[in-house]
Amino acid sequence: MDLKIALLAGDGIGPEVIEQAVKVSDAIATKFNHSISWTPALTGAAAIDAVGDPYPEETHQVCLGADAVLFGAIGHPRFDNDPSAKVRPEQGLLKMRQKLGLFANVRPTFTFPSLLDKSPLKQERIEGTDLVFLRELTGGIYFGERGRLDDGNTAFDTCTYKREEIQRLAKKGFELAMTRSKKLCCVDKANVLESSRLWRETVQAMEKEYPEVEVSYEFVDAVAMRLVQWPNSYDVLITENLFGDILTDEASVISGSMGLMPSASVGTENALYEPIHGSFPQATGLGIANPLATVLSAAMMFEMSFGLIEEGALIRKVVDASLAEGVVTEDLKENGQKGNSTSEVGDYLVAQILG
């Protein structure tokens, strides 16, 4: 199969972890007789520095012309520390989601048997955890009307949703639940927010189309609590943009490291795959960034965009092997032990695939 993939390395550790995912993907292509055409493009702070736009039109055209997008990370501290900055790297991410129609963020959380003791939660609470969040990505408070009043002393951000935005996200949630344990949880704040009441009534109206799916409705604060008490009680969860942003980061530490969890953003024009961690600028160039989340994102890409299930499964298998053998970066090493470098982990994965 010929695969055309847009490569958006981004900022910070993005280029380093992307490099390892490319090495692993190329090894998979060699083993399974595929051909991958990689097309790099700028985004984030790197794009601002080059052309003044965090998501240039040239990058957008590269993404539109690709079968899938593999993305690293966005962000730089010089923008974080400047509240008056007019152009920010994160604007590129929002613009990319909107222009590519990436309305559903698929964020799995699962545990690795060899890393159960790395989680901040007790082993008996997390063992067997295998859940997926579907977070709505192109609506809500991040895209609503915002501004300042009273000479800048009052600020507002508006959370707005249309029924059709909720329906298309919920449809993916129901469909995913049908392939898993047939359990779906709608996360909202319907006791307070009108937008959440629209979420709840919309999902309730869709239940009859999926009679085999057991649907529950929980307030976001209750879910935040239960994620650290009984995460293995959840299967598929759907929620709006802001709630999903917060809850998925909370869920990500269950596995023991944010450097382990992949994600996909799917929509109307294309699909994008990325690690859930940020650009981690403090680690840039040090060779300590954990590439496994990006590598696992590539596994999701093979499976979801190309239907190459065996290829994705092999990537997961060699990642499990690296964890079991302790070929990992320092974030997963025991107290103060020296970890493998980012590239050494990538080289190990490639050797396992081609061995």
Residue of 161, 189, 235, 273 marked active site: 189
Q: Please report which helix (H) or strand (E) contains residue 134, including its range.
A: strand 130-136
Q: Is 2 tagged catalytic?
A: no
CA distance 272 to 315: 18
Residue of 23, 118, 142, 235 marked active site: 142
Q: Per DSSP, what are the bridge partners of residue 264?
A: 106, 273
* DSSP state for residue 164 in the 8-state scheme: H
CA distance 165 to 124: 38
CA distance 118 to 333: 9
Q: Indicate the length of the chain as a whole number.
A: 355
Nearest CA-CA partner of 276 in 107, 60, 41: 107
Q: Is 142 tagged catalytic?
A: yes
92, two tokens: 């590129």
Q: Is 320 tagged catalytic?
A: no
Residue 234, burial from CB neighbour count under 10 angstroms (0-12, 13-18, 19+):
buried
Q: Do the beta carbons of residue 100 and residue 270 sit within 8 Å? A: yes
- Please identify which residue in the block is written with the tokens 């994102």: 297
Long-range contacts of 192-201 (CB under 8 A, 24+ apart): 193/159, 195/140, 195/159, 195/160, 195/161, 195/240, 196/240, 198/161, 198/163, 198/166, 199/161, 199/166, 199/240
Secondary-structure percent of the chain, ordered helix, strand, coil, rounded to 5: 50, 20, 30
204, two tokens: 């309730």
**Relative orientation angle of helices 292-304 and 309-325, to the nearest 10 degrees:** 160
Q: Is 189 tagged catalytic?
A: yes
Residue of 53, 67, 130, 245 marked active site: 245
* H-state helical runs in the chain: 14-32, 45-51, 57-64, 77-80, 89-100, 123-126, 163-178, 194-206, 220-229, 241-252, 292-304, 309-325, 342-354
Residue of 53, 249, 320, 331 marked active site: 249
Question: What residues are annotated to the active site?
Answer: 142, 189, 221, 245, 249
